[in-house]
Amino acid sequence: MTNTGSDKTRTVAKAWIALKRLDLNDDRITALREIPIQRGLESATVRQIICSSFVLNAAHVILKIRNSRGSSFH
């Protein structure tokens, strides 16, 4: 899937996001969504896209990113 702008084409990646409430010591996945994210965006923009997709207040969210095998990214 590509998104064509006036000057350049940006590839859109689709990421599956699993939401867990770790602040409540809850290991269950409370929401699971596929979210399209354009490649090359700033991390703050990606964070805002994820938070708005789940209707979360970005000021109170800590994102822990893992790959499909469960390993943390460093």
Say if CB 72 and CB 62 are below 8 A apart: no
Q: What is the DSSP letter of 73?
A: P
Quick: pLDDT tens for 47-63.
999 999 999 888 888 88
Q: Measured between alpha carbons, how far is 25 from 10 in angstroms, rounded to an integer?
A: 38
- How much is the pTM? 0.68
pLDDT band at 20 (very low <50, low <70, confident <90, very high): confident
* Residues 6+ positions from 49 with CB-CB distance below 8 Å: 35, 37, 41
Q: What are the boundaries of each domain within the chain? A: 2-60
Going edge to edge, which strands form the sheet with 9-20? 2-4, 9-20, 29-38
